[in-house]
Amino acid sequence: MDDSLVSITRENSDVIEGRVKDYLFRIDIPNLTILHDCQDWRNNKDSKNMCKHLGKLFMMLDDGKSANILRQILREKDRWSFTAPGEND
């Protein structure tokens, strides 16, 4: 997937949001929530598996930031909420 397909519209210590291709994402670190809307995400969010769009996003972030977020998700996977727009999980 080409780097130009990733658009980050907000990035700070608490929230990262934007689009990958035509799909939106929002990672809310303090609230332990990832919102995304591709079909693969919707199909696999209950098992908390990442999709290729979020994989590309994490590859585009600063290595340290990306690694820290992914480590936190892995350590506290049961506390994180993986959601899609329009769903109350």
Closest CA to 82 of 9, 53, 7, 4: 53
Over residues 4-20, the mean pLDDT reads 96
Q: Does residue 88 sit within a domain?
A: no
Six-digit token pair at 72? 């936190």
**Has residue 11 got a pLDDT over 90?**
yes
Residue 89 lies in a domain: no
**Residue 59, pLDDT above cutoff 70:** yes
0.95 cut: is pTM over it? no
* Domain with 40 in it: 3-83
Structurally, the chain folds into a number of domains equal to 1
Let me know if residue 59 belongs to a domain. yes
Please give the structure tokens belonging to residue 87. Answer: 């769903």
Tokens of 5: 């397909």
Question: Comparing C-alpha atoms, which of 14, 13, 24 is closest to residue 84?
Answer: 24
> Can you give the pLDDT at residue 88?
62
Q: What is the spatial distance between Cα 55 and Cα 73, in angstroms, rounded to a whole number?
A: 13
The pLDDT score that the predictor gives to residue 89 is 46
The answer to whether 3 touches 60, Cβ cutoff 8 Å, is yes
